[in-house]
């Protein structure tokens, strides 16, 4: 069966091109899927435009849209096992992590479904005083949305966009990462099963320049919501500029994890490991920069190094594995280059820094959990997103210095502070220039609270009420209740 989904029909790529999807854990062929080109992207855009301009979805009562999203959440829960397996085969991530992701994905559909199922469209009545008029502010869908997603959390990032876009009444073209298409294909089936009208949801698979760029340039697209790397984000923003599309960008991070000497030692060590080594560091909010107060530095770095050395690598279905492979050979090359650059610039290798010797892992794109000590702010491995299992350790003496080091980055996605002093925790949290700050924790998020970056980590918000607002236009409707001539020009 072909894998592009356009106007409610499954379609093959117009020029017949396909792509092999291989599991990063062992290189095994997962499937061969259709590879869309610009003509397919344009056909999908036309379908989404027609569904928005002439179809029922934008005018379906919000309560009914909400109910459909709740049905999708039920279907996601029904298919949890198969979807988690598909996600793990495409990404190489541990099955248990894909299962957690599926729970978050269903929760996301439930959250946005419930938000609009109440029937409260988010509008308000304006008080006009003595003026005889009705003044209403209403929320309307933006129109056709291009939703472009990365490979690290394929269905989760998709859910963060698809659920609010549909809740608000938009139609969309989804372009997932070319490396991880399978759960996006499955989601199209579930949306159709839940009763979404044809043409509201469209899917093109394929490479960014050929399948994604045409969406960002097309005048029929009203909004681009993009999650991915900083360099691509700049391109997307530039491509959307000539037609002044609404743009939301969720880009990378180089997130500081600040540990003060009074932190709960064991808990902070445990979380410092999860912060950076979860999903082999391929997490936008990964705590890849560890900043440790001087007097704790040696003991803390020793404990983190010992923890990193204990992490067992393995494929998605290896129950003993605690972390998996990188997404591709090219990505592993990039991570290796960052480690080499860090060492050349004076970092001290505490562990890892190479591929595992285990022959059982030789066919996958594995890289050992790596700790680089004595790092400084100017190193490229500290400044840029390696997006791999690489922790850099820097020292600080004072609170002032910790905040300055933490903020010394173009990124501003997330960060954490560990201390038992509540005053300090709140001072530091309020001074960190990041969209999310955790105190004595790392990585939790909830669909009720907004997610997004400051600085070059992007703009626009996902999740929470502002996540819905990203997909809404605001319109003021004024009705004169006593119209009569004004006499200015007549």
Q: Which residues are catalytic?
A: 250, 284
Site string (74-93) toward ligand NAD, x via CB under 6 A: --------------------
Residue facing ligand NAD at closest CB distance: 208
| Residues making up the chain, counted from first to last | 490
Taking CB under 6 A as the rule, does residue 209 contact ligand NAD? yes
Candidate ranges 35-43, 143-151, 240-248, 479-487; the one touching ligand NAD (CB under 6 A): 143-151
Candidate ranges 62-70, 148-156, 318-326, 342-350; the one touching ligand NAD (CB under 6 A): 148-156
Instruction: Please return the burial class of 191, using the count of CB atoms within 10 Å of its CB with bins 0-12, 13-18 and 19+.
Output: buried
CB of 466 to ligand NAD, least distance (A): 14
Alpha helices in 178-261 (DSSP H): 182-194, 213-217, 230-240
CB of 324 to ligand NAD, least distance (A): 16
Give 169 or 412: the residue with its C-beta nearer to ligand NAD: 412
Which residues fall within 8 angstroms of residue 173, CB to CB, at 6 or more apart? 41, 44, 45, 48, 144, 145, 146, 147, 202, 203, 204, 215, 221
> Count H helices, E strands: the chain?
15, 20
CB of 349 to ligand NAD, least distance (A): 24
CB of 200 to ligand NAD, least distance (A): 21
Taking CB under 6 A as the rule, does residue 453 contact ligand NAD? yes
Taking CB under 6 A as the rule, does residue 177 contact ligand NAD? yes
How far apart CA 11 and CA 205 sit, in angstroms, is 11
Give 218 or 399: the residue with its C-beta nearer to ligand NAD: 218
Candidate ranges 127-135, 145-153, 315-323, 394-402; the one touching ligand NAD (CB under 6 A): 145-153
CB of 168 to ligand NAD, least distance (A): 20
Beta strands in 101-235 (DSSP E): 124-125, 133-141, 144-148, 171-175, 201-203, 223-227
Give 139 or 461: the residue with its C-beta nearer to ligand NAD: 461
How far apart CA 60 and CA 176 sit, in angstroms, is 27
Give 150 or 315: the residue with its C-beta nearer to ligand NAD: 150
User: Which one of 83, 187, 259, 284 is in contact with ligand NAD (CB under 6 A)?
Assistant: 284
Site string (384-403) toward ligand NAD, x via CB under 6 A: -x-x----------------
Give 260 or 367: the residue with its C-beta nearer to ligand NAD: 367
Give 37 or 212: the residue with its C-beta nearer to ligand NAD: 212
Beta strands in 251-326 (DSSP E): 256-259, 289-293
Phi, psi of 87 (to 5 degrees): -65, -40
User: Which one of 201, 413, 463, 468 is in contact with ligand NAD (CB under 6 A)?
Assistant: 413
How far apart CA 138 and CA 168 sit, in angstroms, is 12
Give 216 or 370: the residue with its C-beta nearer to ligand NAD: 216
Phi, psi of 99 (to 5 degrees): -65, -40
- Classify each residue of 353-383 as buried b or exposed e, where b means 16 or more C-beta atoms within 10 Å of its C-beta: bebbeeeebebbbbbbbbbbbebeeebebbe
Candidate ranges 81-89, 209-217, 332-340, 467-475; the one touching ligand NAD (CB under 6 A): 209-217
Instruction: Please return the burial class of 47, using the count of CB atoms within 10 Å of its CB with bins 0-12, 13-18 and 19+.
Output: buried
How far apart CA 352 and CA 277 sit, in angstroms, is 12
- Classify each residue of 65-103 as buried b or exposed e, where b means 16 or more C-beta atoms within 10 Å of its C-beta: bbbbbbbbbebbbebbeebbbbbbbbbbbbbebbbebbe
How far apart CA 214 and CA 146 sit, in angstroms, is 10
CB of 230 to ligand NAD, least distance (A): 6
Site string (214-253) toward ligand NAD, x via CB under 6 A: --x----------xxx--x--xx-------------xxxx
How far apart CA 169 and CA 172 sit, in angstroms, is 10
Number of residues that bind ligand NAD (CB under 6 A): 34
Binding site for ligand NAD (CB under 6 A): 148-153, 157, 175-178, 207-209, 212-213, 216, 227-229, 232, 235-236, 250-253, 284, 385, 387, 413, 453, 457-458
């Amino acid at each position: 069966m072909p894998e592009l989904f356009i106007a409610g029909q499954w379609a093959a790529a117009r020029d017949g091109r396909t792509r092999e999807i291989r599991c990063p854990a062992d290189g095994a062929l997962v499937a061969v899927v259709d590879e869309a080109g610009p003509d397919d992207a344009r056909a999908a855009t036309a379908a989404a435009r027609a569904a928005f301009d002439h179809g029922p979805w934008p005018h379906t009562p919000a309560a009914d849209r909400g109910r459909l999203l709740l049905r999708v959440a039920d279907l996601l829960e029904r298919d949890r096992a198969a979807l988690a397996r598909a996600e793990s085969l495409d990404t190489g991530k541990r099955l248990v992590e894909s299962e957690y992701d599926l729970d978050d994905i269903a929760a996301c559909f439930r959250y946005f479904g419930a938000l609009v199922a109440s029937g409260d469209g988010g509008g308000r009545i304006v008080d006009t005083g003595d003026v005889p008029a009705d003044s209403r502010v209403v929320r309307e869908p933006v129109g056709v949305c291009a939703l472009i997603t990365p490979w690290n959390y394929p269905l989760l990032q998709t859910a963060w966009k698809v659920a609010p876009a549909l809740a608000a009444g938009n139609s969309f073209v989804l372009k997932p990462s070319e490396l991880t298409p399978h759960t996006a294909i499955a989601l199209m089936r579930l949306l159709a099963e839940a009763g979404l009208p044809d043409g509201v949801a469209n899917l093109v698979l394929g490479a960014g320049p050929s399948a994604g760029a045409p969406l960002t340039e097309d005048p029929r697209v009203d909004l681009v919501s993009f999650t991915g790397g900083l360099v691509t984000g700049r391109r997307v923003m530039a491509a959307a500029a000539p037609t002044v599309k609404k743009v939301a960008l969720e880009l990378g991070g180089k997130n500081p994890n600040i540990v003060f000497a009074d932190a709960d030692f064991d808990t902070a060590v445990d979380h410092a490991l999860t912060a950076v080594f979860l999903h082999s560091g391929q997490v936008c909010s990964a705590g890849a920069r560890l900043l440790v107060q001087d007097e704790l530095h040696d003991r803390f770095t020793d404990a983190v190094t010992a923890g990193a050395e204990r992490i067992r690598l393995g494929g998605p279905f290896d129950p003993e594995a605690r972390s998996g492979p990188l997404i591709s050979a090219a990505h592993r090359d990039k991570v290796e280059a960052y480690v080499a650059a860090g060492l050349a610039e004076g970092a001290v290798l505490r562990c890892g820094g190479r591929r595992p010797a285990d022959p059982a892992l030789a066919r996958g794109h594995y890289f050992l959990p790596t700790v680089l000590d004595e790092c400084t702010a100017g190193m490229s491995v500290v400044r840029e997103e390696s997006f791999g299992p690489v922790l850099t350790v820097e020292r600080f003496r004072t609170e002032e210095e910790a905040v300055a080091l933490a903020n010394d980055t173009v990124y501003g996605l997330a960060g954490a502070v560990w201390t038992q002093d509540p005053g300090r925790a709140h001072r530091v949290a309020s001074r960190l220039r990041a969209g999310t700050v955790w105190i004595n924790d790392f990585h939790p998020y909830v669909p009720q609270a907004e997610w997004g970056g400051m600085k070059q980590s992007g703009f626009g918000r996902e999740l929470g009420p502002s996540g819905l607002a990203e997909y809404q236009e605001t319109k003021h409707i004024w009705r004169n209740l006593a119209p009569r001539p004004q006499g200015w020009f007549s």
